[in-house]
Amino acid sequence: MSWRWLLWLIPVYLIGLVVFAPARAVLGFIPEQSGISLSAVSGTLWNGEASISAPASPQVTVNLQNIQWQLKPLALVSGKALLDFTIPQSNTITGQGTASVGLNGSVKLQGEFSGNLQEAIQAYRLPVPVTLDGRWALQLDNYTLTDLASGQWCNQLEATAKSRGTAVRFNNRWSELGEFGTALSCSAQNEIVAKMAANNRLGLSFTTTVGGNQQAPQIRIQGALKPGLQTPREVSEMLVFLGRPDNTGAYRFNFTL
């Protein structure tokens, strides 16, 4: 009789280990070489919470606090952690999405994220020399990286970023700028590429490339400002401080972060 009870207790014990596994067990899915670190981990593997940090540029680290997740148990059979996560509004970036992380270091993300423009500029030290108002939103349809430990940025990327209610302040006066849209993709060199077309009130266009690797990011920005009839007068007058326009009337810029 005792052996029969033992045979029953073994699977019950193993199930209990999985069901009540601490949230820190998720760390096993993140390679040390990825540059991503988790802290303040609490809860269980199935319903947990943690803060995450990752390098965004040589001078800037993205920090997100109190991210909550719910793990889908059936995905573990295939050796992946599939989870729904939420980034609370106490962060510069807020939103929700779905993440799939494999034991081989692969990761796939989908989600919707948003935030305040000026808060993001200040938090991530973006080279914007004016004060802005408005909201930004990111629709992430597909982000795939086959190996977090590779140091690469992406293998697939389909996303669109938009800003709404955008305004700029000069001399305590706000000027409406309208909407801006940026398309994000992954290059053949596994770099993240963000492109904005010039179909906006500023005639602003640029290409931003995030290269290097996750431990030592390299960000290059090339673009132009070509004011038109819809450009606010205050903005057009400020552009003279950027130097002389080219023969098309565009003010070119090119720098590296």
- pLDDT of the residue at 189: 95
Which residues lie closer than 8 Å to 226 by C-beta, 6 or more apart? 198, 203, 205, 245, 248, 249, 250, 251
Residue 17 amino acid letter: L
Of 28, 22, 27, 18, the closest CA to residue 74 belongs to: 18
- pLDDT of the residue at 20: 44
Residues 241-255 have pLDDT tens digits of 778 899 999 999 998
Percent of the chain at pLDDT > 90 equals: 44
Of 19, 15, 34, the closest CA to residue 71 belongs to: 19
Residue 80 amino acid letter: K
Sequence ranges of the domains in the chain: 21-90
Residues 175-198 have pLDDT tens digits of 899 999 999 999 999 999 999 999
DSSP per position, 167-199: EEEETTEEEEEEEEEEEEEE-TTS-EEEEE-S-
Q: Is the dihedral of CA 90, 122, 85, 83 positive or negative?
A: negative
Residues 133-168 have pLDDT tens digits of 999 999 999 999 998 888 889 999 999 999 999 998
